[in-house]
Amino acid sequence: MSFHGEFVIGGSRYRVDFAKALDIAIALDFSGTQPNHFGAAPATMEPMRAGGFVGDTAQGGSCNVPEIRLNPHCNGTHTESLAHIAHNAAPVHLALTQSLHPGVLVSLVPVASEACAEAYLPAHQPGDRLITRAALEQALADYADAQLKALVIRSLPNSRDKLGFRYGEDGFPPFLSLPAMAYLLERGVEHLLVDFPSVDKMYDEGYLEVHHRFWNIPERAHLAGPEALSHKSITELVFVPDTIADGFYLVELSIPAFLLDAAPSRPRLYALEIC
């Protein structure tokens, strides 16, 4: 069974088959390998216990009732809102008023800091790897702004080790340069999805300057003013299999109704066929 829809994007009409979703979320295995950021405790699951009841059919319970512990930012694919850096902003599920967005998937090789003249705050150090404005300009040159409400960045190489990488222990992730973020703002990107754990450097002295510029919050500020771009989102720790080609898609962001700055999410891509 197929469920089709049609959308007009940038003056062109496209057809979508919603039965053919391409999942780019990392499935969170509570008892197995999972990605980890910042040395956070792993996500865990235990059966509920209350009196004589145990929420595990394998242990004789009448049904399965798991209790979970997780850190949305560090234990897997998640979507965050302006509330991540501003204490007066709406929780993530209220900030995002729609779930479908025209977007582009690009694969980029992070540039070693020694070969990168693009700035970051604080200044990047030897060994850092950056997603640069130059790389984005080249990859997105053939796409119209109307196609770029969402952007998915797949960093190369694209090893499946990302599914269980312990960032900080196994190595350090890439991050965006400030000119790269400036370019995305110029192109009107509203929903940014990346396959690393943060758009900012892992240890950046607390600036989170790329986050701040994306949501238009002054440096080091944590109060959202009327100029803040509260409708935008950042999704981190996605994984895009090599079987999914770079190109133009409809991007779906599925977010539970958690009253938090971020929540586990299940982003999916849908191929677009021009009518």
Domain boundaries, the chain: 4-34+75-274
pLDDT at 57 over 70: yes
pLDDT given for residue 203 in this prediction = 96
Rounded to an integer, what distance in angstroms lies between the CA atom of residue 199 and that of residue 192? 9
Q: What percent of the chain has pLDDT over 90?
A: 97
CB contact set of 141 (below 8 Å; sequence gap of 6+): none
State mean pLDDT over 35-50. 97
pLDDT 10s digits, 70-128: 999 999 999 999 999 999 999 999 999 899 999 999 999 999 999 999 999 999 999 99
Q: Nearest CA to 234 among 217, 254, 214, 257?
A: 214
Res. 3 pLDDT band, cuts 50 70 90: confident
Indicate whether this model's pTM tops 0.95: yes
- Does domain 4-34+75-274 match CATH 3.50.30.50? yes
| The token pair that represents 53 in the structure block | 């009841």
pLDDT given for residue 2 in this prediction = 66
Rounded to an integer, what distance in angstroms lies between the CA atom of residue 138 and that of residue 228? 29
DSSP string for residues in 167-193? ETTTB---EE-HHHHHHHHHHT--EEE
Residue 93: Cβ-neighbour burial (10 angstroms; 0-12, 13-18, 19+): middle
Decide: 118 and 182 in contact? Cβ < 8 Å.
no
pLDDT at 1 over 70: no
